[in-house]
Amino acid sequence: MTTDRSTLAAGHGRTADAPVLEIDRLTLRLPDDRAARPLLDGVSLTVAPGETVGLVGESGSGKSVACRSVLGLLPARARTSGQVRVAGRDVLTMGRADLAATRAGEVAMVFQDPRASVNPLRRVGDFLTEGLRATGVPAARATARAVELLGAVGIRDPRGALRRRPHEFSGGMLQRVVIAAALAGDPALVVADEPTTALDVTTQAEIIAILTRLQAERGTGLLFVTHDLELAAAICDRVYVMYAGRIVETGPTTGLFDRPRHPYTAGLLSCTPRLDPGAPAPRPIAGRPVSVAEAPPGCAFAARCPYAQPRCTQEVPALTAHGAGLAACHRADEGILP
Partner 1 sequence: MNGITRYLLGRLAGLLGVLLVTSFVVFATVHLAPGNPVTFLLHGRPATPETVAALRAEHHLDDPVAVQYAGWLGDALRGDFGRSTQYHQDVATLLGTRLGGTFLLVGYSALLVAVGGVGLGVLAALRPGLVDRLVLIGTGIATATPSFVSAIALVSLFSVNLGWFPGPGGTPEGLADRLHHLTLPAVALATTFAGLLARVTRSAMLDELGREHVDVARARGVAGRTVVRRHVLRNGLGPVVTVGGTMLAGLLVTTSIVETAFDVPGLGSLLVQSVTAKDFAVVQAVTLLSVAVFVLVNLAVDLLAPLIDPRLSLLTHGEGTS
Question: Can you give the binding site for partner 1, defined by CB under 8 A?
Answer: 68, 71, 73, 96, 99-105, 108-109, 111, 113, 116-122, 126, 130-131, 134-135, 165, 167, 181, 185
What are the E-state strand segments in the chain? 21-29, 40-47, 52-56, 79-86, 89-90, 107-110, 189-193, 221-226, 238-243, 246-252, 320-322, 325-327
Centre a 10 Å sphere on the Cβ of residue 44 and count the other Cβ atoms it contains: 17
* Min dist. Cβ of residue 28 to partner 1 (A): 16
* Contacting residues for 1 by C-beta, under 8 A, at least 6 apart: 22, 24, 25, 44, 46
C-alpha gyration radius of the chain? 21
Nearer to partner 1 by Cβ, of 131 and 317: the residue is: 131
Nearer to partner 1 by Cβ, of 41 and 193: the residue is: 193
Nearer to partner 1 by Cβ, of 98 and 294: the residue is: 98
Nearer to partner 1 by Cβ, of 120 and 280: the residue is: 120
3-state secondary structure string across 113-136: CHHHHCCCCCCHHHHHHHHHHHCC
* Min dist. Cβ of residue 272 to partner 1 (A): 28
* Min dist. Cβ of residue 116 to partner 1 (A): 4
* Min dist. Cβ of residue 141 to partner 1 (A): 17
Nearer to partner 1 by Cβ, of 119 and 170: the residue is: 119
Looking at the DSSP bridge assignments, the partners of residue 52 are 222
DSSP annotation of 168: G
CA 60 – CA 57 distance, rounded (Å)? 8
How distant, in Å, are the alpha carbons of 171, 177, 221, 246 from that of 204? 10, 14, 20, 28
Nearer to partner 1 by Cβ, of 81 and 119: the residue is: 119
* Min dist. Cβ of residue 191 to partner 1 (A): 9
* Min dist. Cβ of residue 86 to partner 1 (A): 12
Centre a 10 Å sphere on the Cβ of residue 259 and count the other Cβ atoms it contains: 15
Nearer to partner 1 by Cβ, of 103 and 238: the residue is: 103
Looking at the DSSP bridge assignments, the partners of residue 93 are none
Nearer to partner 1 by Cβ, of 146 and 300: the residue is: 146
Max Cα distance, the chain (Å):
66
- Of the candidates 279, 114, 281, 262, the one whose C-alpha atom is nearest the C-alpha of residue 194 is 114
* Min dist. Cβ of residue 73 to partner 1 (A): 6
* Min dist. Cβ of residue 93 to partner 1 (A): 17
Answer whether 63's CB lies under 8 Å from 57's CB. yes
